[in-house]
Amino acid sequence: MLYESTRGSLDRVTGARGIIQGIAEDGGLFVPCRIPSLDLPLEDLAEMSYKEIAKWVLGKFFDEFEPDEISQCVEAAYDYKFTADDVVGFSKAGHGYFLELYHGKTAAFKDMALSLLPHLMKLALKKEGENRRLLILTATSGDTGKAALEGFKDVEGTDVVVFYPEGGVSQVQERQMVSQEGKNTHVFSIEGNFDEAQSRVKEIFADENFKEDLAKEGIILSSANSINIGRLVPQIVYYIYSYGKLLKMGIIKAGEPMNVSVPTGNFGNILGAYFAKEMGIPVGKFICASNENKVLADFFNTGLYDIRDITRKFILTNSPSMDILISSNLERLLYLGSGRDGDFVKNCMDSLRFMKCYTTMDSEEMNSVFGEFQGGEATEEETLKEIKKLWEEASYLMDTHTAVAYKVYEDYRERTLDESPTVIVSTASAYKFSEAVLEALGLEKQEKGFRSVEALEAYTKVPIPYGLKDLEKKAVIHKGKIKPEDMRTAIKESVILTNI
Ligand SMILES: *Cc1c(COP(=O)(O)O)cnc(C)c1O
């Protein structure tokens, strides 16, 4: 299986090379040159464990790895660190089936892919005979950073540098990152929002001079952001698993559709669902749920991707991991949806860069993809209301991101009367966003995030995830605060000076 760039201009690379490189040299994202079919009777999924499905799916996308090697990666990634019965949780509550992806070490769904990515990278380095040091460069809206730090901590031959927007993450998220141990971990807060951090990181990836400087030190750049194909593939697995679960529970028969509702920021998670469908899983609608930064909801309703200042402002909300205006992975949908038209994608991306908007309305092929997606948004207030409602009706506790997905699904259901079983993708533990969840439940707001965690446990009796316990007592190790223009210097100082 080979991978090609969404901007169409370059030769194909192996999966291993794609994982190491993170982003294509022309600035595009890697996609497999064809999407493999599942190649299994759907009925079989009902009897397969999470890890069995993971091994099967990874084998299809990375066929240059031996089955044994893949098996070792999967076993090492999804071990005791995941506390749910079968890696992920699956609970019925209200009108939804909640796919709980937050039972890993950092209590958010990023663990699903970032527990696996370091193992895939090590394997990829071996396959490619690459012996330079790998520098994992990551911009985070809060959850990717911690999951990447945990995943790569003390992994030989790697350094990991994380940038997060100052004031743009919750107190729990921040402490999780700045207390990170491991000699190869480096964390900085930057002035600016997530989009700024992500754009700068992308610029650095395209900066040949900078890369040459690093190469002289024997270092190559890679990314743990969801633009890395090694992150996307693990995110296909849980959609296939969900279908098996619904079969096993007798909710659907093989061939009948399920919907998915996904709280969306960078478009990586929901893209996993799209790939699952392309592989052969019957998915009815992809419900793409946004918070008040609703650029995607508007896009799916109009075909216009528009982040011009006159149209919208960036807003900090109570679902901060979705406070994003530039959804990187949408580029992959544009590529696949347009029949792999690299020129079309390149034009859209150029237009986004220079005019801050683009339209897909002229592309007939894209219009047919649009029929499968439903965009919707939930305000902060609606999000809180939904948390309270489901807690009171079903004693089920959701975090703010999951609540956005549930609210947008409820609106969809009311509007369309579509009763197909719907998987609500649950991306974080409520404890990661306790301040907002407390407020939702009508409890007194605590001044600090840490107090809120305790208060939430006292009230709900839902256990605190082990990764979030005693966070307040953890020492702050990383104190760097920098300006966006100083990111290159910070990187060099972190990885070159410390490795001498
Ligand atoms: C990252 C994240 C999201 C958004 O996922 P994308 O793949 O960026 O669309 C939603 N919820 C939480 C809790 C997250 O950490």
- The 3-state secondary structure of 429-466 reads CHHHHHHHHHHHCCCCCCCCHHHHHHHHHHHHCCCCCH
| Angstrom distance (rounded) from CA 273 to CA 34 | 16
CB 226 within 8 A of CB 22: no
Q: Could you tell me the maximum CA-CA distance found in the chain, to the nearest angstrom?
A: 63
Substitution candidate for ligand 1 out of 103, 109, 319 with most atoms within 8 A of CB: 109
Over range 296-315, report the average pLDDT: 94
* pLDDT-based confidence at residue 448 (cuts at 50, 70, 90): confident
| Angstrom distance (rounded) from CA 106 to CA 146 | 7
Min mean pLDDT across 233-237, 244-248, 473-477 is at: 473-477
Over range 134-161, report the average pLDDT: 92
Q: Would the pLDDT of 346 be above 80? A: yes
> Ligand 1 atom closest to Cα of 428?
13
- Going by C-alpha positions, the residue among 147, 115, 139 that lies closest to residue 428 is 147
> Ligand 1 atom closest to Cα of 427?
13
> Ligand 1 atom closest to Cα of 102?
13
Q: Ligand 1 centre and the CA of 179: distance in Å?
A: 22
Tokens of 83: 């506390």
Q: Ligand 1 centre and the CA of 127: distance in Å?
A: 31
Q: Each residue of 160-219: pLDDT tens digit? A: 999 999 988 888 899 999 999 999 999 999 999 888 998 899 899 889 999 999 999 999
Q: Ligand 1 centre and the CA of 175: distance in Å?
A: 19
Q: What is the pLDDT of residue 498?
A: 61
Q: Is 225 helix (H, G, I), strand (E, B) or coil?
A: coil
Q: 268 CB less than 6 Å from ligand 1?
A: yes
Over range 404-411, report the average pLDDT: 98
Q: Would the pLDDT of 392 be above 90? A: yes
Ranges of each domain in the chain:
1-500
Q: Would the pLDDT of 488 be above 90? A: yes
Q: What is the pLDDT of residue 255?
A: 98
| Angstrom distance (rounded) from CA 373 to CA 333 | 11
Architecture of domain 1-500: 3-Layer(aba) Sandwich (3.40)
Q: What is the pLDDT of residue 19?
A: 95
Q: 108 CB less than 6 Å from ligand 1?
A: yes
Q: Would the pLDDT of 141 be above 90? A: no
* pLDDT-based confidence at residue 294 (cuts at 50, 70, 90): very high
Q: 110 CB less than 6 Å from ligand 1?
A: yes
Q: What is the pLDDT of residue 223?
A: 87
> Ligand 1 atom closest to Cα of 432?
13
| Angstrom distance (rounded) from CA 145 to CA 134 | 17
Q: What is the pLDDT of residue 156?
A: 86
- Going by C-alpha positions, the residue among 141, 71, 80, 66 that lies closest to residue 108 is 141
Tokens of 150: 């945990």
* pLDDT-based confidence at residue 25 (cuts at 50, 70, 90): confident
Over range 129-152, report the average pLDDT: 91
Substitution candidate for ligand 1 out of 150, 322, 323, 406 with most atoms within 8 A of CB: 322
- The one-letter amino acid code at 500 reads I
Q: 266 CB less than 6 Å from ligand 1?
A: yes
Q: 390 CB less than 6 Å from ligand 1?
A: no
Q: What is the pLDDT of residue 499?
A: 56
Q: What is the pLDDT of residue 358?
A: 96
Query: CB-side exposure of 450: number of CA atoms within 13 Å?
Result: 9
Over range 21-43, report the average pLDDT: 95
CB 396 within 8 A of CB 94: yes
Tokens of 381: 């207030």
CB 427 within 8 A of CB 101: yes
Bridge pairing between strands 480-482 and 357-359:
unpaired
Over range 23-33, report the average pLDDT: 93
* pLDDT-based confidence at residue 334 (cuts at 50, 70, 90): very high
155 CB burial (10 A radius; 0-12, 13-18, 19+): middle
> Ligand 1 atom closest to Cα of 110?
15
Q: Would the pLDDT of 500 be above 60? A: no
Q: 291 CB less than 6 Å from ligand 1?
A: no
CB 367 within 8 A of CB 349: no
Q: Would the pLDDT of 103 be above 80? A: yes
> Ligand 1 atom closest to Cα of 401?
11
